[in-house]
Structure formats: structure tokens, C-alpha cells
Structure 1
Amino acid sequence: MTAPSTGTLRVHGATLHYDVRGQGPLLLLIPGGAGGAASFDGIADDLAAEYTVATYDPRGMSRSTLDDPEAEQRVAEHADDALRLLERLTPGEPARVFGVSSGAIVALHLLSAHPERVERVVAHEPPVVEVLPDAVEHRAFLAHVQETFRAEGLMPAMAVFAAGLRKDEAEAAAEPRREAESEIELPPQAAARREQTMANLPYFVGRIVPRFMSYTPDVQRLQTEALADRLVLAGGQDSRGELPYRPAAFLAERFGTDLVHFPGGHTGLTTHPAEFGALLRKVLCTA
């Protein structure tokens, strides 16, 4: 793996840590979940053969620190962080953007609020559940996650959260335990990355999940011809029917566009990096 150049950027209420590698048009990768820039380690080097690839830790995650650790998190502020990174790295020029999960929510807001700065957005499974016809059920689910987090702690809340996202609730409920048991099998770099992800989980569950999954994108603006032509909605080949997949499928149908299926499920970026990166390169080049 090629060592990236690193930098920091002061934004409102936080200091962002970002990495840059490669050369060519700028491609900003926005991580989701409890991951940071390192979640793109499996694809960033290959993409850097064609792009200047910028990755970063979102505010409050990993190396990007908050001035006030108790500050409420807002999608619009996270999108403004992404905008300021674009202005730092490619001032005045539109960029390509890829976002996954909660990072895809940020990418959607960035496109709708600042379309002049975005040439193309690929949004992989943004869990904008408020667009779904059964949104009220998902509000109750998210409230249950928060209640469990407050009353019982992180891992019980994660089990509830995983069960609500998956089709197979029994399988999902076992996932946090199985991942913890498998940690000793990981190579050093992957183990360090997982340790950092685990350290980010309380912030993710307590601050990101409730605010991001209650966010409603500007659907009318996104479906205008000027913006819809720049937006690629994507889902995992193996996550059909799961909660994070459904908003992307719903919006693609509403917009009359194809839903691009990437290899793997919601975490296909990690489980199928070579195939995932190859398809992303193809989608980014498609006019």
C-alpha cells in the first residue's frame, strides 16, 4: 500500500484529518458507519492510478477531533466539512464523490446544497429511511436502539441495531459477538483498524445514527434533471431487501434511474474490495 500524504483542516467545531494519494481529477471518498479514512484502504491505491484520491475521518471519528465532544451532529455540517475539503484540495473545480452508508447521506446533501462543486456522486446504500412509505416503523426502531443504548450499553444496542437492518434477525443479532470472537484472527493492520472502529462505535450509535437516519433528503431537488444526471444510486448485490438497501432502491425507482449493484452487501467495500473498486472506477467514468 502506498503511504498517502496527510493533512489537517480546521472547520467549524472540529479539526479534520485527511489523506491524499495519486494524481488526476479529485475523487473524495466519504466513509460511513464507525469507519474513517482507513475503511477505504482496500480500494484507494487502485483508484489513485487514475484519480487524486482524498479520504478523511469524519468529525468526531478516529483522528478528527471535536471541540465539544458532546456537540450534536448534523448532516448539513458534515456535508459542509466535505465541501471545505473540496475547496482545500480542488478550489473552484467540481469533483467526483463516493459515499457509503452514512457517508452516502452526506454525499446526497452535498449534491443538493452545492451542485456546482460536484461532477458526479455515487451513493451506496444511504439509509435515508424517512423517504420510505413505512418510515414510522423505522422511527420506532431507531428509538428502541437509543433506549437500549442508554439502558443497557453499547453491545446490546448494536445487536438491536444490526437486527433491525438485516433480513435475518437471528443472524444479525449474533454478528457483534461473532466479530468480537474473530478479532484475534486478524492481521495487525486490520486488527488496528477494527480497534479504532470499535472505539468510534459509542459516538456512532449515540450521535450519528439518530440524527443521520432521521434526515430527509431534498428529494424534489435531487430528481431535477440537472442533479439526477450526476447521481448514481447503488446497493449491494447481497443486501436486497435489507433496510439500508431499500431507500436507494426506492429513490432510483422514483427518479426513473437504474440502481447499480455492487458486489457483496452493505459492507461490500470491505468484503469484496477488488471487485468493488473496479466497478466504482467504471461507474465514475460513465457519462
Structure 2
Amino acid sequence: MTTTTDYLSVPGATLYYEMRGNGPTLLISQSGEGDAGRSVDLVKQLADAYTVITYDRRGLSRSTLDDPGSGVTLTEHADDVHRLLTAVTDEPAAMLGCSLGAAIGLHLALRHTGQLSTLIAHEPVAPRLLPAQDRTRHEAELAEIQQLYRKEGLAPTLKAVAGVLGIDPANPDAEPGLTPQPMTSGRIANFGFFIENDFTALINDTLPVNELAHTPTRIIPAAGRTTPRIVFDHRCAQELATLLGAEVTEFPGGHNGNTTHPRAYAAQLHRTLQAAKVGWRSGSSTLTRLTRGSAE
């Protein structure tokens, strides 16, 4: 299936994005160093049922900043997604936000009411969702990781990030046949931008969490099945669920289940969007294939 690529000028940056598939619009906002290609295996599973949009966040890969030293904010990220969706569709879209992408989605749901029909917020890295004492502690933790990166480099920093998010590199759990994601120079640069700039955006975030219960967007808190319940990201998902009076929807894998378990994750994503009454083709062969994928 053909992938369409394009660029979009937005205030302060130029965004690169990709579109693939047919059907209702589904935007995927990845976290970490993830650019438009990070969810490639998941997109392959979804493209028969949705028009899937992935993009490079501003500052990553091909999405360049007009002023490379300007930094980023979560509201800028949310406005970027708003402008991207406005450029490609005039209908409410569904969004899968993973980690930082989920925090971006929460801002989008509040800043641009009605643009999202459904937001699946998978383990939002959003300290503002936590009680004040825990929020302060995790904001300090992010600042400490930034300092670690500046003093000792990427390798120990990635180990620290994995610990915070409940990822166990010594026990990888993934579906077979995934597209290789080598640690290229571009990916290393993206990690550096993420740690230096997006961490700061999270520390300085002002998300008005109490307003989330009143947005018309259907927000679905989600978490990985294997993510420890006590870690920061799972607790954020649980706090979001409590705020919304909802349950946390479990997805296959852990924090990065969308990349480690793309077939099973796609099946659960499709079921979740179906239940949320997002535009979907019920009874189709696509539904059968996606649902079957959860058992593979």
C-alpha cells in the first residue's frame, strides 16, 4: 500500500508526516525518539482499516525548527497536531498517543475541542496527573535524568529512563519478525533532543487536568499488560482513569507495546476504537483479521 509523504509549515517549525491506508483518520503520536517511522509495524496492521498518519515531532528527524535553540512546549506539540489534522481531514479524528504522545493528546483535546473523537492515552508521561507530592518527585526525577545525560551520555541515561518506565532491557518481550530499529546517528540525535527539550516541556507543563473530565473527546486511559503497576507511567494512566471515572484498558506488551507487539496491539486498538464508536467497518474481513491478530 502506498505511503504518501509531505511537509507542513507551522509556526516556528516545518513538520514531516506520512499517510497510509484507507478509512477513518487515525493519528499516532509516538514518544521518546520516535519519528514517523517508529510505528511502522503497527501501521502495517492498521492501514486496511484506517487512514493512518504518523509524523516527526518538531525537532526530530525531518521536522526542523526555524530556531534550533528555541526548545519546545507541550502546547506547541498539541498545536502542531491540530494543524496537521486540519490539513488532512475536516472530520473528527481518532488518536493513539503513546507516553509523551498521550500527554500531547490530552492538551489537544482541551485546546482544540471536537477535533478528536477518541483519544487512546497509553501510559501518559504527564506528571500533572499525579498528586502534588508525587508530581514534584517525578519532575525532579526528569531533571536528574537530564543532568545524567549531560554528564555521562546516552547509554546510562537510557538505562535510567527504562527504570522509570518499568522497561526491563534484560528480558525483552516482543513479537517475531519486527522491522529492525538500529541505533543510527539520527536516532541518537533524536534521543538527545527528546531528553534535553521534551523533558523540560514536561517539567514545565501546565496541563489543567480537572478540565479533562469535561472535554467532548472520548479519552480512554490505557496501559501495557506487563508494565509494573507501581511505576510512574502506569500510575499516570490510573490517575487519569480515576479522574474520568473510567477503567484502564490493557494493551499487549509494556510501555512500548505498540512497537514490540504490533499485531496484538493493533487488534486491541481496533476493538477499543470499535467500542468507542469511532468510524469503523464492522463485520468486515479487516475486523476479522485484526481481531485474529491478538491471538498470534
Q: TM-score, normalised by structure 1?
A: 0.86
Answer whether contact 1:38 1:193 (CA < 8 A) is retained: no
Q: CA deviation at 1:212?
A: 2.2
Answer whether contact 2:109 2:215 (CA < 8 A) is retained: no
SS of the residue aligned with 1:197?
helix
Q: CA deviation at 1:25?
A: 1.4
Answer whether contact 2:114 2:216 (CA < 8 A) is retained: no
Match of 1:96 among 89, 94, 111: 94
Equivalent-residue separation in structure 2 for 1:48 and 1:191 (angstroms): 20
Does 2:120 align with 1:131? Answer: no
Q: TM-score, normalised by structure 2?
A: 0.84
Equivalent-residue separation in structure 1 for 2:186 and 2:250 (angstroms): 29
SS of the residue aligned with 2:39?
helix
Answer whether contact 1:130 1:213 (CA < 8 A) is retained: no
Equivalent-residue separation in structure 2 for 1:195 and 1:259 (angstroms): 36
Alignment RMSD (CA, Å)? 2.3
Does 2:267 align with 1:269? Answer: no
Q: CA deviation at 1:193?
A: 7.1
Match of 1:217 among 202, 207, 215: 207
Matches within 5 A, 1:165-244: 165-166=165-166, 190-192=180-182, 196-224=186-214, 226-227=216-217, 230-239=218-227, 240-244=229-233
Task: Give the equivalent residue in structure 2 for 1:164.
Answer: 164
Equivalent-residue separation in structure 2 for 1:269 and 1:193 (angstroms): 18
Q: 1:190 to 1:213 in 2, by over 3 A?
A: farther
Q: CA deviation at 1:194?
A: 5.7
Q: CA deviation at 1:33?
A: 0.9
Matches within 5 A, 1:1-287: 2-91=1-90, 93-133=91-131, 134-166=134-166, 190-192=180-182, 196-224=186-214, 226-227=216-217, 230-239=218-227, 240-287=229-276
Equivalent-residue separation in structure 2 for 1:265 and 1:214 (angstroms): 26
Equivalent-residue separation in structure 1 for 2:215 and 2:182 (angstroms): 44
Aligned residues: 270
SS of the residue aligned with 1:62?
coil
Structure 1 gaps, min length 5: 179-185
Answer whether contact 1:131 1:216 (CA < 8 A) is retained: no
SS of the residue aligned with 2:232?
coil
Q: Which amino acid aligns with 2:118?
A: R
Q: CA deviation at 1:77?
A: 0.5
Q: CA deviation at 1:247?
A: 0.6
Equivalent-residue separation in structure 2 for 1:259 and 1:189 (angstroms): 29
Identity %: 39
Q: Decide which moves more: 192-201 or 147-156.
A: 192-201
Q: Which amino acid aligns with 2:191?
A: L
SS of the residue aligned with 2:72?
coil
SS of the residue aligned with 2:124?
coil
Q: CA deviation at 1:151?
A: 2.5
Answer whether contact 1:24 1:51 (CA < 8 A) is retained: yes
Q: Decide which moves more: 77-86 or 150-159.
A: 150-159
Q: CA deviation at 1:107?
A: 0.7
Cα displacement string for residues 135-184 of structure 1 (whole angstroms, at most 9, x for unaligned residues): 121122122112222223333333333333338xxx56x79xx9xxxxxx
Equivalent-residue separation in structure 2 for 1:245 and 1:123 (angstroms): 11
Q: Which amino acid aligns with 2:64?
A: T
Structure 2 gaps, min length 5: 277-296
Equivalent-residue separation in structure 1 for 2:204 and 2:264 (angstroms): 32
Equivalent-residue separation in structure 2 for 1:193 and 1:4 (angstroms): 24
SS of the residue aligned with 2:48?
coil
Task: Give the equivalent residue in structure 2 for 1:183.
Answer: none
SS of the residue aligned with 2:34?
coil
Q: 1:112 to 1:282 in 2, by over 3 A?
A: same
Cα displacement string for residues 90-130 of structure 1 (whole angstroms, at most 9, x for unaligned residues): 03x21111110111111111011112211111111111123
Answer whether contact 1:127 1:213 (CA < 8 A) is retained: no
Richer in helix (by share)? 1
Q: CA deviation at 1:69?
A: 1.4
Cα displacement string for residues 14-37 of structure 1 (whole angstroms, at most 9, x for unaligned residues): 111111111221111111111111
